[in-house]
């Protein structure tokens, strides 16, 4: 098994391993790489739905997504789909999955099933690198802050997706979410300090209104969005990508109008977060 960086601060491509067979020390090495680099890409994988579920179970627990379409044959798998006739994609903004849960998901295993001829790449940004790049003054300002996260404005009836052509395909309009987390967390496995706010689900700092929170939030988001902290995953047939939600943001690019794209996602159970 060999690893090569995708970018200086984020991401790694792993060669010489089939995830369907990855267990024991190999699996532990994969986990460590993802915790540190934020995201790992595996090419030429033979990982059908059953094998994807088996691999996820070998990793740990599986969280069932409340919003994405499911396939009755494999309820553990959330279907990330955009039809050729749809204009809106899923995940087309910078975000961290499940930050709105009390115990956010560790990350996801995402397998390519249907891809457009070009486009549909996914960007990732490393929140450890983003935190390290903050000024000492800014680090001091956020040291003891916490923030409230929710997905209600995105998925509920009348929410962001309900106003698009993805609305009818999504579930969970009645689900209500909300969680408060430290703005700076320590990764539960590596101990690295990570910036833990994102523009899709973080609403305000504890004790402040959204309007009061926005100027400082925008400063943090601006650092996290800098290209220096990012990598790009270019999808190909047989590609599987695994990422850590604590360590990264991601953004699915919507630049393939008129073509279908479908990926199968399994969400991995996480651990409580702490400052």
What tokens were used for 32?
Answer: 């460590």
Q: How far apart are CA 240 and CA 265, in angstroms?
A: 10
Beta-carbon contacts of residue 167 (< 8 Å; ≥ 6 apart): 161
**Predicted pLDDT at 107:** 97
**Predicted pLDDT at 155:** 94
Domain 2-268: homologous superfamily in CATH = Clavaminate synthase-like (3.60.130.10)
**Predicted pLDDT at 101:** 97
The pLDDT of 170-194, averaged and rounded, is: 96
Cα diameter, the chain:
52
Question: Each residue of 244-258: pLDDT tens digit?
Answer: 999 999 999 999 999
Query: Of the candidates 109, 92, 94, 132, which has an alpha carbon nearest to the alpha carbon of residue 34?
Result: 109
Question: Each residue of 102-143: pLDDT tens digit?
Answer: 999 999 999 999 999 999 999 999 999 999 999 999 999 999
Buried b (16+ CB within 10 A) or exposed e, 210-224: eeebeebbeebbebb
What's the DSSP call for residue 207? T
Question: Each residue of 205-232: pLDDT tens digit?
Answer: 999 999 999 999 999 999 999 999 999 9
Query: Of the candidates 97, 51, 23, which has an alpha carbon nearest to the alpha carbon of residue 248?
Result: 97
Buried b (16+ CB within 10 A) or exposed e, 25-61: ebbeebbebbbbbbbbbbeebebebebbbebbeebee
Query: Of the candidates 191, 212, 96, 81, which has an alpha carbon nearest to the alpha carbon of residue 145?
Result: 212
Domain boundaries along the sequence of the chain? 2-268
Question: Each residue of 71-99: pLDDT tens digit?
Answer: 899 999 999 999 999 999 999 999 999 99
Q: How far apart are CA 117 and CA 120, in angstroms?
A: 9
Query: Hey, how many other C-beta atoms are within 10 angstroms of the C-beta on 115?
Result: 18
**Predicted pLDDT at 38:** 98
What tokens were used for 200?
Answer: 């899709």
**Predicted pLDDT at 42:** 98
Unique residue bearing structure tokens 């088996």 = 54
- pLDDT above 70 covers what percent of the chain? 100
Unique residue bearing structure tokens 């532990």 = 28
Give the global pTM: 0.97
| Confidence class for position 162, pLDDT limits 50, 70, 90 | very high
**Predicted pLDDT at 14:** 98
Strand partners, 124: 231, 250
Helix axis angle, 49-59 relative to 24-37, nearest 10°?
80
Beta-carbon contacts of residue 82 (< 8 Å; ≥ 6 apart): 88, 89, 90, 166, 254, 260, 261, 262
């Amino acid at each position: 098994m060999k690893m090569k960086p995708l970018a200086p601060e984020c991401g790694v491509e792993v060669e010489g391993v089939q995830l369907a067979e990855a267990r024991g020390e190999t699996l532990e090495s994969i986990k460590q790489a993802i915790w540190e680099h934020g995201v790992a890409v595996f090419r030429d994988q033979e990982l059908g739905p059953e094998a994807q579920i088996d691999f996820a179970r070998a990793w740990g627990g599986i969280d069932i997504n409340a919003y994405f379409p499911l396939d009755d044959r494999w309820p553990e798998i959330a279907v990330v789909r955009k039809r050729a006739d749809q204009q809106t994609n899923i995940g087309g903004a910078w975000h961290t999955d499940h930050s709105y849960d009390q115990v956010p998901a560790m990350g996801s295993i995402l397998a390519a099933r249907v891809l457009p001829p070009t486009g549909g790449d996914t960007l990732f940004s490393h929140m450890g690198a983003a935190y390290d790049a903050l000024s000492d003054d800014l680090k001091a300002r956020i040291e003891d802050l916490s923030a409230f996260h929710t997905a209600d404005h995105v998925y509920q009836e009348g929410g962001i997706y309900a106003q698009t052509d993805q609305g009818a395909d999504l579930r969970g309009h009645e689900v209500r979410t909300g969680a408060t987390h430290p703005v700076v967390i320590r990764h539960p496995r590596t101990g690295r300090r990570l910036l833990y706010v994102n523009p899709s689900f973080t609403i305000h700092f504890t004790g402040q209104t959204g309007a009061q929170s926005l100027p400082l939030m925008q400063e943090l988001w601006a650092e996290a969005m800098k290209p220096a902290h990012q990598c790009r995953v270019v999808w190909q047939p047989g590609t599987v990508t695994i990422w850590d939600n604590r360590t990264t943001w991601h953004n699915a690019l919507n630049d393939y109008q008129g073509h279908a794209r479908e990926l199968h996602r399994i969400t991995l159970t996480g651990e409580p977060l702490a400052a």
